[in-house]
Amino acid sequence: MQGDSTGEPEATVPSSDENDQIAAAEPYLPPATQPIRSVVWAFHMVVPLLGLWLLLSFPAQLNIRWEHPPSHFALIVAIAGVNVVLGLMISQAATRRQDARLLLVSLVFLACAGFFLLHGLATPTIILAKGSFGFDIGQPVGLLVASVLASVSALPLGERAAAAVLARADLLRAGLIVLLVLWGWASLVEGLTPLSAPPPKGGATIGVLSWVGAALFAVAAVQMFRIHRRRPSVMLISLVTAYALLCESMIAGFFRPNWLLSWWEWHFLLTMAFVFVAYSAYIQFRREGSSQGLFDSVALSATVRRIQARYDEALEELVGHLRRMGERGTAAGEAPLATRLAGKFRLTEGQAAVLDRAGQALAAERELSLRLGALVDVGRRARVGLGEEELLQGALERVRAAYGEVRMGLVHSGRVEIGDRSFGVGDFTGDEPVAADGVVVHPLTVKGVLAGALEVPVGTTRQDEALAATLASQLSIALENARLYRELETLFRQYMSPDVAASLLADPDQAALGGSLVELTALFADLKGFTSFSEKVTPGEIVEMLNRYHTAAVPCVLRHGGTIVQFVGDALLALFNAPAEQERHAEMAARAGLAMQAEAEKIAAGNPGYPRFRVGINTGMALVGNIGSPELRGFNAMGDAVNVAARFEALAEPGTVVIGAATRDQIGPAATVRPLGPLTLKGKAKSVEAFVLTSLD
């Protein structure tokens, strides 16, 4: 347990988002510090002092004498009774919470109760026949003792100081009892001490006692108010008010003589101070239904943290209980959670009932959250890319954790088999489920046709039924997506590069006509001798040869991040760094070209009559985009860099890869090349450097 050596705890530090919200809103003020309530509170404090001033300023007209000992005795005994009850309640809370501040506050009320009772017994005609010195100063002395205890209780006691106070709790209580006994013996046994004798001529000298007590009560009120600012509480503000009224009563008690209205106002202020605290405690008791935590807000910050920790433990126990209920239900013989926590925190029956209902609501809320989470997860899995079997298996595992024993079946030969049940198209009317033996079977459809069925345990609320229907709808969407994606793989992706297909799926606007200027590396490849080979063989052999070469070449391009944009007879065009950005695109194109030649050589080695690949690669700026018409278009690249790559391919010897100077420069020293010297290419006014690429480190 940490101490209060640095003062009362600051309020919990809000997050940055909370700070922004606080800055944008009006600043928070505790109830007693809000402007209107502060004015009302100050008015209540000023009115008694104003009344005292009027009584003293116009003594002949207002400050009349009213001497009635029985009324005084009854009033003082009533005040003492209120203080006894409050003192014992706070003392019990101090023992239960092991809190030094509560102990000291309880002694404040018990000291007041004891001295007030003795002051009441010293009222003339009750025990003693006439007024006594003890009667005059008994109440100020008692309030002075209480003010010392109040000022100490309001201090930010550290851990060591609080422990020292608690260790001497019995000694403090015993000391107060001894002091009261001695004071009563001295002031009520006639002729024993000057306290039981008539007051000295000229009145009792109590000025010092009154002003010292008033100052100490003022300090205690200010300190308690500072704690209230950090930890707003009805009980704290009632103590602040009580201490302020006691401060005023000490001031009023300075102005004598006895039995005048100003003297009665002193007693009125005392009554109001303690009745205010008692009324606040009563209101809080009515609101909470228990006295268990009435004075917790007055305790030291370390005690408040300890109490909060116990509440956190109770909340964890509640959450754990709900989790266990979700996993295995309530075990036989296990005490209800509300009963266990009621015993632990001494809750009333009403509070235990509220806690039980809250637990049930939390359990329902948790179950709802789990099911909504499962729906979200199924929706996430419904994204394209997963195979049908993998998708449904993963979805079922996730759903069973939230919905219980959920089963699914798909249509085979026009029927859906789920366990020993069989369903056909005629068993379902539209999307309406079928109820059977504690379960509800929802149809799964693809394009409006029955594709399967989902079996879910019967829910306990209409909300459960709606969630199950939503789950079936979500799984239908997931199943339809999986099958459409499989068709897309077969029909769409096999007719274009995967990169182009993925880009169009993610952003259909990319299919619009037009393009942009980007740097890319173009790779052209074709078969040297294809025409003469075609003249000697049948068309079927031509197709077989092309498919074998392209089957070997295409993976080489794709593996290195290239995009194949077209096949033209025996030739292909691949782009690197388009449409997707690619680092080291020149190097990747060169590696793809060498890999293609390696794979093509394996095919040519087993087929001596086959033509052989030649590859040309060049890097530069080109216009990349969709070219064609609104009815038919294709992804392609145009520009000098692409044309030069085609020229390099036409000049390359079979089995070689020819690259341009820009490509070689971007690859750097990793490329081993053989210069071809300046080349004059068709359509180029200036000569172009080219190199035969032999290897890459």
Residue 457 parent element (H or E)? strand 449-457
Segment 17-48, tens digit of pLDDT? 434 443 333 433 444 444 445 554 554 555 55
Residue 697 has pLDDT above 60, yes or no: yes
DSSP SS3 for 192: coil
The b/e string for 42-72 (b: 16+ C-beta within 10 A; e otherwise) is: eeeeeebeebbeebeeeeeeebeeeeeeeeb
Q: Quick one: angle between helices 301-328 and 69-97, nearest 10?
A: 60
Segment 560-616, tens digit of pLDDT? 989 888 888 889 999 999 887 888 999 999 999 999 999 999 999 888 889 999 999
Section 216-238 average pLDDT: 82
Section 336-364 average pLDDT: 60
- Residue 693 forms beta bridges with which residues? 657, 673
Section 205-224 average pLDDT: 80
pLDDT at 347: 56
Whether residue 358 contacts residue 454, with contact meaning beta carbons closer than 8 Å, is answered with no
pLDDT at 53: 53
Phi, psi of 108 (to 5 degrees): -60, -50
Phi, psi of 289 (to 5 degrees): 75, 10
Segment 297-325, tens digit of pLDDT? 777 878 777 877 776 676 666 666 655 55
Name the H helices within 168-300: 169-188, 207-230, 234-254, 261-288
Residue 41 and residue 46: Cα distance in Å, rounded? Answer: 9
CA distances, 629 to each of 513, 626, 635 (Å): 7, 9, 12
pLDDT at 28: 38
Section 491-496 average pLDDT: 54
Phi, psi of 637 (to 5 degrees): -135, 140
Section 661-674 average pLDDT: 95
Return the sign of the alpha-carbon dihedral for residues 86, 91, 96, 101. positive
Report the range of poorest mean pLDDT among 41-50, 407-416, 551-560: 41-50
More confident residue, 330 or 115: 115
Report the range of poorest mean pLDDT among 526-535, 629-638, 639-648, 681-690: 629-638
Section 460-478 average pLDDT: 74
pLDDT at 147: 87
pLDDT at 49: 54
Task: Give the rounded percent of residues in the chain with a pLDDT score beyond 90.
Answer: 19
The identity of residue 7, as a single letter, is G
Count CB-CB contacts under 10 A for residue 345. Answer: 16
Residue 30 parent element (H or E)? none
pTM above 0.95, yes or no: no
Structure tokens at 682: 């068709």
pLDDT at 507: 60
Q: What is the DSSP string of 58-85?
A: STTTT--B---HHHHHHHHHHHHHHHHH
Architecture of the domain defined by 371-491: 2-Layer Sandwich (3.30)
DSSP SS3 for 514: strand
pLDDT at 75: 81
Residue 224 has pLDDT above 80, yes or no: yes
Section 500-506 average pLDDT: 61
Residue 198 has pLDDT above 50, yes or no: yes
pLDDT at 322: 58
Whether residue 624 contacts residue 665, with contact meaning beta carbons closer than 8 Å, is answered with no
Segment 46-64, tens digit of pLDDT? 555 555 554 455 455 555 6
pLDDT at 568: 85
pLDDT at 8: 44
* Full 3-state SS string of 110-145: HHHHHHHHHHHHCCCCCCCCCCCHHHHHHHHHHHHH
Selection from 120-134, 402-416, 476-490, 525-539 with the highest mean pLDDT: 525-539
The identity of residue 38, as a single letter, is S
Report the range of poorest mean pLDDT among 211-220, 330-339, 481-490: 330-339
Task: Give the rounded percent of residues in the chain with a pLDDT score beyond 70.
Answer: 67
More confident residue, 205 or 630: 630
More confident residue, 357 or 299: 299
Q: What is the DSSP string of 298-359?
A: GS-HHHHHHHHHHHHHHHHHHHHHHHHHHHH-PPTTPPPHHHHHHHHHT--HHHHHHHHHHH
Residue 265 has pLDDT above 60, yes or no: yes
Section 398-420 average pLDDT: 78
Using pLDDT thresholds of 50, 70 and 90, give the confidence band for residue 696: very high
Selection from 80-84, 295-299, 509-513 with the highest mean pLDDT: 80-84
Write down the mean pLDDT value for the chain.
76
Report the range of poorest mean pLDDT among 154-158, 199-203, 548-552, 554-558: 199-203
pLDDT at 83: 80
Residue 671 and residue 669: Cα distance in Å, rounded? Answer: 5
Residue 370 has pLDDT above 50, yes or no: yes
Section 536-554 average pLDDT: 91
Give residue limits of the domains in the chain.
32-292, 304-326+336-367, 371-491, 501-696
pLDDT at 421: 82
- Residue appearing with tokens 């002395």: 141
Residue 519 parent element (H or E)? strand 514-528
More confident residue, 679 or 489: 679
Residue 187 has pLDDT above 50, yes or no: yes
pLDDT at 527: 93
**Which CATH number is associated with domain 501-696?**
3.30.70.1230
The identity of residue 493, as a single letter, is R
Residue 570 and residue 550: Cα distance in Å, rounded? Answer: 9
630 Cβ contact list (under 8 Å, min separation 6): 513
Using pLDDT thresholds of 50, 70 and 90, give the confidence band for residue 112: confident
Segment 377-386, tens digit of pLDDT? 666 665 555 5
pLDDT at 378: 66
pLDDT at 552: 93
Backbone torsion region of residue 117, taken as left when φ is above 0, otherwise alpha when ψ lies between -120 and 50, otherwise beta: alpha
> How many residues in the chain?
697
Whether residue 132 contacts residue 122, with contact meaning beta carbons closer than 8 Å, is answered with yes
Whether residue 692 contacts residue 676, with contact meaning beta carbons closer than 8 Å, is answered with yes
Using pLDDT thresholds of 50, 70 and 90, give the confidence band for residue 644: very high
301 Cβ contact list (under 8 Å, min separation 6): 4, 8, 9, 156, 231
Among 268, 266, 148, which Cα is nearest to 209's?
148
Count CB-CB contacts under 10 A for residue 437. Answer: 6
Selection from 253-262, 364-373, 431-440, 454-463 with the highest mean pLDDT: 431-440
Section 398-405 average pLDDT: 71
Section 507-526 average pLDDT: 78
